[in-house]
Amino acid sequence: MDFNFDEIINRKGTASIKWDAAPSQDVLPMWVADMDFKTAPPIIEALQQRVSHGIFGYTQTPLEFYNAIIGWWEKQHHFILEKENLIATTGVIPALSASINALAKKGDSVIMQPPVYNHFYITLRNSGVGIVENNLIYNNGNYAIDFDDLERKASDASVKLLIISNPHNPVGRVWNREELQKLGDICQKHGIVVISDEIHSDLVYEGFKHIPFASLGHAYSAQSVTLSSPSKTFNLAGVQVGYLFTENMEFRNKIQKQLASQEMELLSPFAIEALIAAYDGGQQWLDALKLYLYDNYLYLKTFVEKHMPQLNVTPLQATYLVWLDCSAVSKPVSALASQLLQDHKLWVNPGTMYGDEGQNFLRINIACPRPLLEEGLGKLLLAFNKML
């Protein structure tokens, strides 16, 4: 089946955060992480069929929902999940919030690895816990975990949790088995629970392999909680569906109780239908999507190398979020992003959104039809020609 990812779909006027939150109608948004593609046909068909029923009452989560998740992880990541380890949620961030509040208390601290997804900061601050930063090492355009620093930070008795972005948003790294085991060993040594955000795990490109943290072995899975969702993979953020899993029944019960206390247990009928359709029928669409996304990345990389060689494109191993090194520009990236938006009508994220370690970077969302990517790069070039 052919999928037309070049089709430009007008999202204005749909209450889209990506498009309708722009300060003017002529802004091209390449910021927040959702895609400008229609989702997979089986998902659209399943939702249309559900709508045709006409009744949308309270909905229990059926066995088919859990079976779809189990089947997907076995096919995609060769990892066997047990239904009793799964909890359905309305998304990864609600799952993260519930996990933090269930497994840590005020006065405790949580390790993060900046530059990292900005909502980790927001959720931790809302939970009232301390934030400990284990900054990633940036060397010759590549990122690595600073294990020496992690060992030092983990030895603090107040640290109870570590959140890892696996694969990493925004730097696009796919952590390998050795890295994850080393991180897990340090956390086990100090009694730290690992929360692994694996929402981008299906968007790993050829030559790389996603390693579920829980697949490392019982000692790791029993001391961890994994969060995921089809929302990034199939462009379903607005449907609000996700899940978590843990082999540790004490953790599971505490998190389930936390979700119940926040009245966050029930999914919408559309969330249920979308996940089942995605995981049972979306593989062909996803395969085509990944090829298109990686071609977009190569197009951007070639364009930057040819027209803006002073900038550096961080290697993209996963996600559709390009991390662009703008160290050659003297202007702070917050001012740079603001100027791109105001003067050139291009909306991208300043790296400082993801911690101080992102101070020389822009994050660019390339999950869009090629003509929009070309337009965005043209705006970027016009701006940098005035700065470099």
What is the residue extent of each domain of the chain? Answer: 17-41+283-385, 55-281
196 near 213, Cβ under 8 Å? yes
What does the block give as tokens for 24? 């003017």
What are 287-339's pLDDT values in tens digits?
999 999 999 999 999 999 999 999 999 999 999 999 999 999 989 999 999 99
Please state which of the four CATH numbers 2.60.200.20, 3.40.50.720, 3.40.50.300, 3.90.1150.10 is assigned to the domain occupying 17-41+283-385.
3.90.1150.10
Give pLDDT, residue 262.
83
What are 183-216's pLDDT values in tens digits?
999 999 999 999 999 999 999 999 999 999 999 9
Sorted by sequence, the CB contacts under 8 Å of residue 282 that are 6+ apart come out as 40, 42, 43, 230, 233, 234
What are 296-305's pLDDT values in tens digits?
999 999 999 9
10-residue stretch averages of pLDDT, the chain, 388 residues long: 94 98 97 98 99 97 99 98 98 98 98 99 97 98 98 99 99 99 99 99 99 98 99 99 98 97 89 99 99 99 98 98 96 94 98 97 99 99 88
141 near 324, Cβ under 8 Å? no
Give pLDDT, residue 386.
85
End-to-end CA distance of the chain: give it in Å, rounded. 45
CB atoms within 10 A of CB 40: 26
Q: H-type helices in the chain, by residue range?
A: 17-20, 41-53, 63-77, 92-103, 118-127, 147-154, 177-189, 218-221, 231-234, 249-261, 269-281, 283-307, 333-344, 370-385
Q: Which of 319, 321, 301 is nearest to 311 (CA)?
A: 301
Give pLDDT, residue 163.
99
5 near 37, Cβ under 8 Å? yes
99 near 195, Cβ under 8 Å? yes
The tally of CA atoms less than 13 A away on the side-chain side of residue 204 is 19
What does the block give as tokens for 363? 């994050």
What are the φ and ψ backbone dihedral angles of 289, each rounded to 5 degrees?
A: -60, -45
Cα-based torsion angle of the residue sequence 213, 217, 219, 225 in order, rounded to the nearest 10 degrees = 30
Topology (CATH level 3) of domain 55-281:
Aspartate Aminotransferase; domain 2 (3.40.640)
The Cα–Cα gap between 93 and 122 comes to: 10
